[in-house]
Amino acid sequence: MSRPLAVVCLAAGLGKRTKVSIPKVLLPLCGRTLLACSLDATDTLNPQRTIVVVHHQKEKVIASVADRANTVCVDQGKPLGTGHAVKVAMQALADFDGDVLVTYGDCPLIAGMTLQQLVASRGFAPCSVLTAYPEDPSGLGRILRDDDGRFVGIREDRDCDDEQRAIDEINAGFYCFDAKTLRPALEKLQPNNAQGELYLTDVIAQFVAAGREVPTLEAEDSGDIQGVNSLADLAMARVVMQERILLEHLMRGVMIEDPSSTYIDFGVEIGADTRILPCTVIGKGCKIGSHCEVGPFAHLRAGTVLEDGAEIGNFVEAKKSHLGAGSKAKHLTYLGDAVVGAKANIGAGTITANYDGVNKHTTRIGDGCFVGSGTVIVAPSDLGARSMTGAGAVVKRGSKIGADEVWVGVPAKLLKQRDPATIKPSNQAKETR
């Protein structure tokens, strides 16, 4: 059964328990925000429209989703409960008819497949409810069932008696509604609680009271529905998310020698037969070819590209740099805004000094270059194909070293021309180490 789908993502919370100034839904998690993780999951369902309900630091949250297609933010105003938030969102969906999936901007681990199953489980019912069996259900709303196992309601933990509190099936808080049925039910909500709020669970109670069947779906992994309310929660979510990312790379033929000490952000591309050695950090947006080697103790930052066979070794940091096929930087090096050709050798202790205090500049190192140990290249500078610098050379800003030239000294100056006939790729490989 295929129906139009709209997503309502609740992201208006203050997040007091995080104790930080960043809006909770914008906390970072393996290269994405919590909100982005949640929306990426719903995007796999190809919704026609996505409504993000915002309020706290709304300008920042709105800016974070500005480039998402078919996504609109609405301000909840003074938050008055989940029912109120969805009611505000439905005003932006006044002309929508179909499934309305309710999710949360602080639940980054939810899987797209789980949400797809939740939508499918609604059938012709007014609503479907996601449930779970966490190790510790305390503090969470319990799922109530009759003697035949049929869903009959949700009871908040504070309202449970001892028998109900012993129930281990909980309300995960994710729902799929029929839009036409949801609208009038929201209008009937009353703030019949000490907080004076409108609860979305009261909508479901209306359906049950009217004798309507409400199907439920059990999440296969209760960890998927875990919300982030504190930095401790964030740290635990990061462990789960990182494990998922590493497993995906392993299944694609990437040899990660020690996953427990390897950190790879979401959105990193790595080719098969590449080795990732221990204590390596690879940031979002990096692209690594096949048969490469990275680490140990290496840090690849955003925008870095390694072509097939390139190698980044111990205590090397690369930022927004491109290494050509077979090029190597094996020891104690910083490559910032560098474009390195194929089969170049970057000696130990090399620095591309890319920042002049105001702007970043590019260093270009040609095919087959040999950069001597301890070289400092002040950008912008160009090193021609097969050129060479001596150990400890300082290449001044704006230098243009010609093909096959050897520069040495402080500041570096032309010493001689290399004889191309004497340059052997096999020697370069040996000199790298």
DSSP 125: S
> Within the chain, which residue ranges are assigned CATH 2.160.10.10?
238-432
- Please give the C-alpha separations between residue 131 and each of 17, 153, 223, 338, in angstroms, as whole numbers: 25, 12, 12, 51
| pLDDT value of residue 2 | 81
Per-residue pLDDT tens digits for 111-169: 999 999 999 999 999 999 999 999 899 889 999 999 999 999 999 888 888 899 999 99
**9 Cβ contact list (under 8 Å, min separation 6):** 35, 38, 39, 42, 50, 51, 52, 53, 103, 104, 105
> Within the chain, which residue ranges are assigned CATH 3.90.550.10?
5-225
| pLDDT value of residue 196 | 82
| pLDDT value of residue 431 | 43
Instruction: Give the closest residue to 12 by CA, choosing from 47, 50, 49, 61.
Output: 61
Asked if 140 and 120 touch (Cβ cutoff 8 Å), the reply is no
Give the fold, CATH level 3, of 238-432.
UDP N-Acetylglucosamine Acyltransferase; domain 1 (2.160.10)
The model carries a pTM of 0.92
Q: Answer yes or no: 56 catalytic.
A: no
Instruction: Give the closest residue to 227 by CA, choosing from 432, 25, 430.
Output: 25
Please tell me the CATH code under which domain 5-225 is placed: 3.90.550.10
CA angle 94, 97, 102 (to 5 degrees): 80
56, 84, 249, 331: which is the annotated catalytic residue?
331
DSSP 129: E
Q: Which residues of the chain have pLDDT under 50?
A: 426-433
| pLDDT value of residue 97 | 96
**321 Cβ contact list (under 8 Å, min separation 6):** 303, 304, 305, 335, 336, 337, 338, 339, 340, 352
Residues 234, 37: Cα–Cα separation, whole Å? 13
DSSP 153-186: EEE-GGG--HHHHT---EEEEEEEEEHHHHHHHH
Per-residue pLDDT tens digits for 224-266: 999 999 999 999 999 999 999 999 999 999 999 999 999 999 9
| pLDDT value of residue 14 | 84
